[in-house]
Structure 1
Amino acid sequence: MNGSGVRAVARIVAREDGRGGTSLPVLDGEGPLALRRVRASGTEARVMLVGAMSGPLGGDRFAVEADVGAGARLEVRSAAATIALPGQGKGEARYDVRLLVADRGELRWLPEPLISAGGSELYVTTRVELGGEARLVLREEQVLGRAGEEPGRLGSRLTVRIAGRTVLDQELACGPGAPGGWDGPAVLAGHRAVGQLVVVRPEFRGDPPAARPLGDCAALTPLAGPAVLVTAVAADGLRLRRVLDEALTHLG
């Protein structure tokens, strides 16, 4: 830690162990980004990201990296929501996620929501690089403000590339100082929770799900690669999770 905030990086490397399972040769978290291996399921390794302190605060720089090799299967969750808070440090906080999945690798990235508390300022980037035969389930959920409070400023960018080709690159800015209209009918329409679910499966090349609405506040959209995107808004985080869970169940 220094005058401009906390720097912390967490790294996960998952590899096929040669016995039908997945090993974790690298599981390294520092500062507020602690990693714990939890009970596995079949051939899949499971990791829990455990926040060791509040944050990110103003000026903090956090990064999480996961590298899944060929034939490995990894699920990553977090023990609790991440809360962006105002801090003594000046400037925007950053939270960068980098995910790499090789051919025949599989990653389920299912963290708890990010909550943008009043007075905070955070920019989040998630970049995913997948092999052409990789599999992915990625969920992102963002809640604007805690109960009864206005949100901080939150910017996020999600980029997904498959076999070197960009299939998704979207950006959203919300809260004080964000471009006008972010809370209007064309974007959040007054809702305070927004999320997306990205599902990548090689079999979608031959049989992609059709584009369709999912209730009143969510939609499924096929992407250019063997992938689909579900986007949703809701009044709160619980309703948002319900919508995304139902969408994932429907995809099978």
Structure 2
Amino acid sequence: MSLAAVAARRAMRARAEIATTLSAGRTALTVLRSSPPLTLRQTGPVTVHLVSTAAGPLGGDELELDLRVAPGTTLEVGSIASTLVLPGEGPSSMTVTAHVGAGASLRFAPEPTVLADGCDHRMAVRLSLDGDARVWWREEVVMGRYGEAGGRCVTRFDATAGGRPLLRQELELGTGPCSPAVLGGARCVGSVLTTRPCDTAVADGAVADGAVADGAVADGVVVMPLAGPGTLVQALAADAVELRERLDWGLAQVPPS
């Protein structure tokens, strides 16, 4: 998209929704509501992919995705391609809100978000898990296209499990004091949150079963047990391929639950 086209395009406000229900012992998708550029396509019995049907997000866009996974059901969400964040009039945002009911499972694994030069973007996740819920949640950010330094981005992740805080994390990337220097020369950063069924009886500060008790560290990747039913894997890398490999290594250190 040319700079002139970017300047002429009006900011978008879009909200897409996915909801499941349990029908005859099987997962059924009861809500699949798209709102361009967030277009949803069911690609399997419990799988939905995001398909971008417009450029963006661009500066000024406010996009929301709402996921409601009913008790005892399963949902997998991915994307067809990477998301390219472009500059425009003002900052852009992408907010994902997810509620996973008791005994339900959610896998959220989109392709990376690429921050083009000049963009100013905010990514927010609000995740809540009820008892016995499971989640596998991946987030990857690439600083710029080929030959670019990348724009500015603030990512925020808030997760609760069984009504108690599980993860509170914020990361700033971009120019000035939040420059790529904080990544130690890496151009990509990513994380995977994986949990076992919630156990509200886990004491404060205790590590739940299925987590890596002492953590694990390798070149550019760390595996961190959470004080609750989960493990967080975080990695830095020079490119998206190396980032995915390091995240996969970290996940291999987490025992099955």
Give the TM-score, by structure 2 length: 0.88
Residue matched to 1:76:
77
Give the number of equivalent residue pairs: 240
Please tell me whether the aligned partners of residues 6 and 59 of structure 1 are also in contact (alpha carbons under 8 angstroms): yes
Deviations 1:52-82 (A, max 9, x none): 1110001000001100011000100001001
- Counterpart residue number, 2:175: 176
CA distance in 2, matches of 1:188, 1:132: 36
Query: How far has the Cα of 1:202 moved from its partner?
Result: 2.3
- Picking from 212, 217, 222, the partner of 2:225 is 222
Summarize deviations over 1:198-239 as a string: whole Å, max 9, x none: 001028733432233342111111111110101110001111
Letter in 1 for 2:180: D
Deviation per residue, 1:90-147 (Å, 9 max, x gap): 2100110101101101000000000000011101101101112100000000001111
From 11, 24, 31, the counterpart of 2:17: 11
Q: Kindly state the Cα deviation for residue 183 of structure 1 after the two structures are TM-superposed.
A: 3.4
Which secondary structure does the structure 1 equivalent of 2:183 belong to? coil
Deviation at 1:150, TM superposition (A): 1.1
For the residues of structure 1 that align with 2:210 and 2:92, how far apart are their CA atoms? 41
- Per mean C-alpha deviation after superposition, the further-off stretch among 204-213 and 63-72 is 204-213
5+ residue gaps in structure 1? none
Correspondence 1:33 to 2:38: yes
The residue that corresponds to 1:247 in the other structure is 250
- How do 1:117-156 and structure 2 match up within 5 A? 117-156=116-155
Aligned-partner Cα distance in 1 for 2:216–2:233: 9
1:154-207 deviations in Å (ceiling 9; x for gaps): 111011111111111111111124x35x534xx411101000100010287334
The secondary structure found in structure 2 opposite 1:248 is helix
8 Å Cα contact 2:222/2:250 also seen in 1: no
- TM-score, normalised relative to structure 1: 0.90
Matched, 1:193 2:196: no
Q: Is the 8 A contact 1:211 1:219 kept in 2?
A: no
Between the aligned partners of 2:53 and 2:218, the Cα distance in structure 1 is 38
Identity of aligned residues (%): 39
Q: Which amino acid aligns with 1:156?
A: T
Number of the residue aligned with 1:237: 240
1:202 maps to a residue whose letter is: P
User: Cα distance 1:207–1:241, how it changes in 2: closer, same or farther (>3 A)?
Assistant: closer
Secondary structure of 1:95's counterpart equals strand
Unpaired stretches in structure 2, ≥5 consecutive residues: 1-7, 199-206
On the 8 A contact 2:196/2:210 being kept in 1, the answer is no
1:129–1:162 CA contact under 8 A, matched in 2 = yes
Instruction: Give the letter for the 1:244 counterpart.
Output: L
C-alpha distance in 2, partners of 1:77/1:206?
28
Residues in 2 aligned to 1:150 and 1:12: alpha-carbon distance in whole angstroms: 35
- RMSD of the alignment, in Å? 1.8
CA distance in 2, matches of 1:206, 1:120: 41
